[in-house]
Amino acid sequence: MISIRQILNGISIDIQGEVTKNSEDTMFHAVNWSEKVPDFIIFNFKEVSYINSAGISIIIRMIRTCIDHEVLIFGHGISTLREKLFKAVGITEYILFYPDEYSILQRIEGVNFTK
């Protein structure tokens, strides 16, 4: 399950529960890529209870789509388990992780979006 929040010219995708094969449709319909594309997406993993390899592949496809649309990707709320998992896969090379949303927004204020 996910909730979407508009923040400035971007969005936050707050993910709750499990990220598995069953999350595919929900995750991909979170953003309407045919309408106005956000400047940035923040993935909030704080309420995630479980991610497996199929969930990892969904996140990778989300990253791919964000890169295709020149959308900056941030993340926060990862546990030590998730941090290990994301580092092993390489997701931390593509999603810029911060301790919390406030830190991300401070970082975003310094970005000059020129899409």
Partner 1 sequence: MWKMRSVLGEEVQVLNRISDLVGHSNRKDDILISVAEACINAIEHGNMQEKDKEIIIEFKECVSKYAIRIYDSGTGYDTQFTQPDIDDKINGNSSRGWGLYLMNTFTDEINYGYAKDHIFYVELNYFKENELWERGKSS
In the complex, the residues that contact partner 1 under the rule CB under 8 A are 18, 20-22, 50, 52-54, 56-58, 60-61, 63-64, 67, 80-81, 84-85, 88-91, 93-94
The encoded tokens of residue 64 equal: 């791919």
The encoded tokens of residue 97 equal: 């992780």
Of 5 and 64, the one with the shorter C-beta distance to partner 1 is 64
The encoded tokens of residue 101 equal: 């949303």
* Closest approach of partner 1 to the CB of residue 30, in Å: 17
* Closest approach of partner 1 to the CB of residue 29, in Å: 17
Q: Return d(Cα 17, Cα 66) in angstroms, integer.
A: 22
Of 8 and 81, the one with the shorter C-beta distance to partner 1 is 81
Enter the DSSP assignment of 98: -
Residue showing tokens 């909730």: 3
* Closest approach of partner 1 to the CB of residue 111, in Å: 21
Burial class (CB in 10 A: 0-12, 13-18, 19+), 60: middle
Of 74 and 101, the one with the shorter C-beta distance to partner 1 is 74
Of 52 and 103, the one with the shorter C-beta distance to partner 1 is 52
